[in-house]
Amino acid sequence: MKRSSLVSSRSTPLSPPPISFLLTPTRITEGQFYEAQQQTRVVAARYIKAKDWASAIDILSNVASSLLKADQGGSGGDLSIFLVDVYKQAELVPDAANRGKLLTLLRLFDPEEPTRKKFISEMIGYVPLPSPSSAPLSHIATRDWTS
């Protein structure tokens, strides 16, 4: 990663992620799912503290997606819920891009995964109902949740 790509909303440069985080894809491939989840939480927390929302969102959505694809619903679900919390902390508008990331993660959940219900609840809480922009999200989430 280029150092210039790790700039917070305050334009304060952050140090590059620790080497251990750069190994997260390797950890997932090797089956070290819990370690990947915990490393991601630590790095995301650093970005959140620096108010570098874009980097925190990128890391959380990418690793959550990888974990869910590896059938690690608990770890992937935890990071997905953390992602919704970051959206709320950053006070980001639930625009198409933000909703798209959440819906992509929702589709990766196993229907029987216990964290899925909490993720849906948090996701719907992030997108205020009933607003015209939230209608597609609530429709898809409700349909997926009840089917």
Q: Where are the domains of the chain?
A: 3-146
Determine the CATH number of domain 3-146. Answer: 1.25.40.10
CB burial class (10 A; 0-12, 13-18, 19+) of residue 125?
exposed
Q: Residue 1 has what pLDDT?
A: 37
In the predicted structure, residue 109 carries a pLDDT above the cut 90? yes
In the predicted structure, residue 21 carries a pLDDT above the cut 90? no
Q: Residue 80 has what pLDDT?
A: 97
Residue (of 139, 61, 135) closest to 104 by Cα position? 61
Neighbouring-strand partners of residue 8: none
- pLDDT (tens digit per residue) in 26-39: 778 788 888 889 99
Residue with tokens 């927390």, as numbered in its chain:
45
- Confidence band, pLDDT 50/70/90 cuts, at residue 2: very low
DSSP characters over the chain:
--GGG-B-TT-PBPPPPPHHHHTHHHHHHTT-HHHHHHHHHHHHHHHHHTT-HHHHHHHHHHHHHHHHHTT-HHHHHHHHHHHHHHHHHHT----HHHHHHHHHHHHHS-TT-HHHHHHHHHHHHHS-TT-TTTHHHHHHHHHHHH-
Residues 47-68 have a mean pLDDT of 94
- Confidence band, pLDDT 50/70/90 cuts, at residue 144: very low
Per-residue exposure over 126-144, b if at least 16 CB sit within 10 Å of its own CB, e if not: bbeeeeeebeebbebbeee
